């Protein structure tokens, strides 16, 4: 029975999962790394970390399952969305990748709205200009790092840089492409109007593919590094949220999913390119051909609980931290937590939004604070789709 290898290039680890033809997970491995915050609001990462961790994760999952690369018949890719990976003509990385949670580009978002027109921008892309998207990052580099800008020949997203290392091909799936703010949502391809308005060379952008399509095959060099066979097909895949939706079966209109990681996402599949007129929730292409989706995103969901644990109870198991909060009544006796530790996206697109505990009194203890964090995240998720 042939196996499919999935590679997930996330913000803090690259993961490898082996799945057989019946959908059974045969093995999972991951290799962790960190990202840098060189100045407040910034978030960057060395793309070399993804490839090195990918090699480690692939070899680890093969080793721990007792399987070999010869058992793998195809590779699929997913990962963190919206990042900006800038490469020169030879494919060399020009600067650290700017990640999805980077918040430096508020001024560039205003510039994009002026250049395209706010209503026209949403009509074309399905989205308002938000700091997390790729397009504002490119405008920032254009205006602040002209030496880098002059050398740009290719723009990729994080998982597609790993694809390049696997196959030697520049390619991107339509779901992840739609998250750049450079896509024509209805046409499912790059928008010449937006690219022209932002002075971005269309030659820099790779060909776009539907999620199940094969974009290339493993090179001999990648095969030697990973232990997989040369010539193994690599499919387009999708950004992490659209891939997650496929995995849990949210592909038909009317189905929805909630996912919690560093961020929190409410995801709804559609059969046509719908969008919210003010862009308060996202509208992207799905990884499934002929499908789109709408998505509400809060930036610090489970990330809020992790920050709370690491700051006030370092090393404590999450279960031990959370269990006592069950004794606290709903509403945490008047204590509230605002989960805006990294700014916010839906439905409050504000990179400068800040978190807070509100209503602290001497009667509150750690149980109340823990429950307030959980309630703040829950209501933040409820707030988004409204």
Which active-site residues does the annotation give? 240
Q: Are 268 and 256 in contact (CB under 8 A)?
A: yes
183 vs 254: CA distance, rounded Å: 24
Closest CA to 302 of 376, 191, 196: 376
Kindly list the distances between the CA atom of residue 219 and the CA atoms of 42, 68, 116, 205, 211, in Å, as whole numbers in the listed order: 35, 17, 40, 22, 21
Closest CA to 336 of 301, 295, 376: 376
CB-based burial of residue 308 (10 Å sphere; 0-12 exposed, 13-18 middle, 19+ buried)? buried
269 vs 359: CA distance, rounded Å: 38
Catalogue the E-assigned strands of 43-177.
Answer: 44-45, 72-79, 85-87, 97-98, 154-156, 171-173
Q: What angle do CA 76, 133, 262 make, to 5 degrees?
A: 65
Phi, psi of 346 (to 5 degrees): -115, 135
- Name the strand (E) or helix (H) holding 120: helix 118-125
78 vs 157: CA distance, rounded Å: 10
- Number of helices and strands in the chain (H, E): 13, 20
Q: 296 has which bridge partners? A: 266
| Sequence-distant (≥ 6) Cβ neighbours of residue 130 within 8 angstroms | 109, 136, 181, 279, 345, 349
Unique residue bearing structure tokens 């254009």: 142
Q: Are 104 and 65 in contact (CB under 8 A)?
A: no
């Amino acid at each position: 029975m042939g196996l499919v290898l999935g590679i997930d290039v996330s913000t803090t680890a690259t993961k490898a999962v082996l799945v057989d033809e019946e959908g059974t997970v045969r093995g999972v491995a991951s290799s962790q790394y960190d990202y840098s915050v060189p100045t407040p609001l910034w978030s960057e990462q060395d793309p070399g970390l993804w490839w090195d961790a990918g090699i480690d994760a692939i070899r680890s999952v093969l080793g721990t399952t007792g399987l070999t690369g010869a058992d793998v018949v195809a590779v699929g890719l997913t990962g963190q969305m919206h990042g900006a990976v800038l490469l020169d003509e030879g494919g060399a990385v020009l600067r650290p990748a700017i990640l999805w949670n980077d918040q430096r580009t508020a001024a560039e978002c205003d510039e994009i709205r002026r250049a395209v027109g706010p209503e026209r921008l949403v009509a074309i892309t399905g989205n308002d200009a938000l700091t997390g998207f790729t397009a504002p990052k490119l405008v920032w580099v254009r205006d602040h790092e002209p030496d880098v800008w002059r050398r740009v020949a290719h723009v990729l997203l994080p998982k597609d840089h790993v694809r390049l290392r696997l196959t030697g091909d520049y390619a991107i799936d339509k779901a992840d492409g739609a998250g750049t703010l450079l896509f024509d949502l209805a046409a499912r391809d790059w928008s010449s109007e937006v690219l022209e308005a932002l002075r971005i060379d269309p030659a820099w952008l790779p060909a776009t593919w539907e999620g199940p399509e094969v974009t290339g095959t493993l090179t001999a060099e990648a095969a030697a590094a990973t232990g997989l066979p040369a010539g193994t097909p690599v499919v387009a895949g999708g950004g992490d949220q659209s891939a997650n939706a496929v995995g849990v079966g949210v592909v038909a209109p009317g189905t929805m999913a909630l996912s919690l990681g560093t961020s929190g996402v409410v995801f709804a599949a559609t059969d046509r390119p719908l969008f919210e007129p003010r862009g308060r929730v996202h509208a992207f292409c799905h990884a499934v051909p002929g499908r789109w989706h709408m998505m509400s995103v809060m930036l610090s969901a489970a990330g809020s609980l992790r920050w709370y644990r690491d700051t006030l109870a370092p090393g404590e198991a999450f279960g031990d931290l959370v269990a006592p909060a069950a004794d606290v009544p709903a509403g945490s006796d008047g204590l509230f937590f605002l989960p805006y530790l990294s700014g916010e996206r839906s439905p409050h697109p504000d990179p400068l939004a800040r978190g807070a505990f509100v209503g602290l009194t001497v009667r509150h203890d750690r149980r109340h604070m823990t429950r307030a964090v959980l309630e703040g995240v829950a209501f933040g998720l409820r707030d988004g789709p409204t």
